[in-house]
Chains A and B, each alone.
Chain A
């Protein structure tokens, strides 16, 4: 039997795309390689009784219209607040920012009165920036090299809105796109630990340092969340991030979509330049009028298609598209709660994010290691203990702790060997990760132990997820959690391939809907929704 659309990949974007298509009465089939839905937004019982958000662990910016359109709360999605960020310092002091603005002001004033004042101005301008940037998320990027009136109008429209902003905000906007997170924050703040912690959000998932130009704009994501109220679009998901995927999946099913797990795709079928269906690894052929891939361009165009079917410049674009996974995860099953020397006890500071980012130089040195093919000797770590807010994740009295770690370069230098210049993408030293996995895990624990010495005694189980594991298990090339670096030359109308940022591909009836398309990564759903609208011709 024949489908209208086959969606490859049951991650949150694939499912979102499928749900919107099914909602428009299309006959939709979703094919997921693994036994569970969710892709990188997945919850798994890694150790008996302990359920982890194995990869993606916070819900960033899930589009409110998607929550509405798909009625996700009704399908069991519930976002819990992730309140504040706690940064322990080697000095024995700490910085603890919470959603309560006044509290945070007082806390920052402890470090610098001036910064406390600047914090208000900063917040205000960032919200302004968010207002400008937000509509862009829902937009299908125009092609500036074509005289297509729609494209020109959209670009002019953006220009108009840009000119409409106050000069002050205009400058910030440009700076956000081009400056480094630290340079940008330097304009407001003097407290090193504050700048370090804030700038951390600018490097997540990129192969850039906090002082690298182009890292500033990611700071915006948080504030775009703020507009819809941090509670609704920024937080933890009850039951782990997998619950979000499942809710979207249920919504899709309710609209009539068919979803198959354990169905890895081997090939995309084409007939004279037109996608006609897929072949599964077990040899089954499935036919459809259109195929949508939520996987990244490398899988889609270099593995599932014969590259020769694609125009040369497009092939080159795909080859040049940068992944460069730079992060890993360490998931811990704990017998109790970590006790931080600088703020002892199981206080509310453990309910938010715990950020190991004591200073700007610390962050930058972590990056320097990675540039030359080593994982950071002292990495940046973003810790959450979701079992404190969601008891369903661990047995009573026990806890799950998720540690997002950067930097963990996909291309790891073989220990003791000198490294040549980095290629746009090579394989090479990759399997090295299998040898260094546990050393990486130990480094993470040692780093945390410097601030919470009791951590070692608490560990019941430990799961170390390297970029190589992310690539193997979750099909994210080079372990990049955003399906490709979020750098300026890979954003908006340049994502993923110049000239192909409209969710379409050189193969007719073959579309893309993953994080490798505009507006990119994070549990946002926008790529899936935008792609669906393109396919439905809206």
Chain B
């Protein structure tokens, strides 16, 4: 038993955990952050792929990082976070070797589009404009704690009024767009507006990242809105953090230290201590225990309640619901060390500095998705890749480069065998009210993933758009959803700690009645991506949760 008693212990040193801990520290609370891995950052981590080659291990984009986080923690002023303007958001690569750059500046994109379709060139500015207006309404909810439907407090009413106000402020046609777009299939959404398949697919992918959805799946429209809403509440519009996610992790680490947060890496929590139905601390794998007034978990809800808590402390129905949260990871990550800068026909150096998307058509995306439903992966995957070393040459030896690629859809053979319940047998997960809830739902046809074959497929696909790339590969790395589950403890390998569907969003994230970062165990809180708003590396969940915890401990 460790002598010191903390105000709060934050489990998990990813972006949300770090944000939450730093804010709690800033609020004057004695805070301990424990991270299972040897380094901080979670999905924002980086590592040396080969001697002299450093890559963003998982995420190569921020969410973007939320403005209020940057502001409150003075990340830019005091902790060395800087932004580089990103005139080009991404470039869509066509099979015929042409490239379509999508810029932050709508008119610039429109100009680029003229080469493809006059119609789309005219449609683009209007579309982006109303998309950001519509998403803005969703964004007003991002900085707020989702209301408690049963006992709405003054705060909740204020949130409701604020959002209702934002909705009313929209033009009537935008009000309808908001109501229609959320539940729509993103393929329908973009097909209504654009005629160029390449553009349709490129825009649609914003609604598909990390999702167990294809472009024709209803509800993918919501993800597009959430993605766009992030931009609305993000710091420095049209800019990306210099150095990307790893730089965010470093700045947050410094902020945490600056606010007196005690950090322990290589420290795996195996249990949340509960006495008299209250969370009072944590036990590490080493057996050490630490006491605190509050425990805040940045780990996904399934793992938090499934393996860190004792079932008897939780209502059976709650455990049953948690067990059935949908969290089937489909995103794989490929990192490559390249001997030279790949030659991508149709692109400029400026385009190579921002993400490049390989998804020629909606049907291409849908077909890439089809396989994952049966526990397989497509020979023609959807890929978004970046070349971080173009902006930061220090990441690779002179003349050499690193490539970071998101690859979808890739099944998690662990997840697909026991849908979303992860590595732990479901029986341990819950002591449910009825026998029917006692076993995981089995998925047929799960087979171990052919990692060599998948990596080859990815490199071949890249090579089709960057001829000769195959020969430039010095070192390569594939991180499958299964690996994300095993090594990053993301249940199901889901990068968002759970599907961002209508029924798992806002007041229902992770569960209806527990959307406020609190849990059935007093003193135990959640602050990870599995809570509202929970979209990408924004620090949003961590920041919102920190406010709730700070109030509770004040």
A residues at B contact (CB < 8 Å) = 113-115, 117-118, 121, 144-145, 147, 163, 167-168, 170-171, 174-175, 177-179, 183, 186-190, 192, 208, 211-214, 313, 320, 322, 359, 361, 364, 368, 371-372, 419-424, 487-489, 493-494, 498-499
Contacts and interface: CB of A to CB of B under 8 A. Distances in A.
A499 to B, nearest CB: 7
A460 B129 CA distance: 61
B454 to A, nearest CB: 21
Contacts of A208: 218
A121 B437 CA distance: 11
B419 A186 contact: yes
A405 to B, nearest CB: 21
A422 B338 CA distance: 38
B435 A498 contact: no
Contacts, number: 134
Nearest to B513: A167
Given A168-B317, A178-B502, A121 B436 contact: yes
Contacts of B181: 489
| Those 9 A-B pairs whose CB atoms lie nearest each other, nearest first | A118-B436, A488-B183, A178-B502, A498-B176, A214-B218, A213-B219, A178-B503, A186-B441, A145-B175
A175 to B, nearest CB: 5
A188 B436 contact: yes
A396 B320 CA distance: 54
Contacts of A313: 173
Contacts of A419: 363
B512 A170 contact: yes
B302 to A, nearest CB: 14
Contact of B150 (A163, A190, A364): A163
B51 interface: no
A187 B324 CA distance: 6
Interface in B150-182: 150, 168, 172-173, 175-176, 179-182
Nearest to A492: B179
Given A174-B503, A174-B508, A163 B324 contact: no
Interface in B75-92: none
Contacts of A121: 434, 436
B216 A371 contact: yes
Nearest to B176: A498
Contact of A174 (B191, B197, B374, B512): B512
B439 interface: yes
Contacts of A186: 324, 419, 441
B219 A214 contact: yes
Interface secondary structure of B, over-half rule:
helix
B444 interface: yes
A20 B362 CA distance: 47
A208 B513 CA distance: 30
Contacts of B324: 186-187
Contacts of A189: 436, 441
Contact of B179 (A177, A183, A190, A498): A498
Interface of B: 149-150, 168, 172-173, 175-176, 179-184, 187-188, 191-192, 197, 200, 213, 216-219, 221, 317, 320-321, 324, 326, 361-363, 366-367, 370, 373-374, 419, 434-439, 441-442, 444-445, 501-503, 508, 511-513
A334 to B, nearest CB: 35
Contact of A171 (B438, B439, B502, B511): B511
A23 to B, nearest CB: 35
Nearest to A112: B436
Nearest to B173: A313
Nearest to B505: A178
B366 to A, nearest CB: 6
A420 B362 CA distance: 9
Contact of A178 (B183, B362, B512): B183
Contact of B218 (A188, A488, A494): A488
A378 to B, nearest CB: 15
A178 B501 contact: yes
B55 to A, nearest CB: 34
B251 to A, nearest CB: 37
A144 B191 contact: no
Contacts of B200: 421
Contacts of A118: 434, 436-437
Nearest to A313: B173
B149 A163 contact: yes
Contact of B434 (A117, A170, A177, A371): A117
Given A190-B441, A424-B188, 12 more contacts: A168-B317, A171-B321, A171-B503, A171-B508, A174-B503, A190-B442, A212-B217, A212-B218, A214-B219, A421-B191, A423-B191, A499-B176
B136 to A, nearest CB: 17
Contact of B361 (A115, A144, A177, A421): A421
23 contacts: A114-B438, A114-B439, A115-B436, A118-B434, A145-B176, A163-B149, A167-B512, A170-B512, A171-B503, A171-B512, A179-B503, A186-B441, A212-B217, A213-B219, A361-B374, A372-B367, A420-B197, A421-B361, A488-B183, A489-B183, A489-B184, A498-B176, A498-B180
A215 B503 CA distance: 13
Nearest to B197: A421
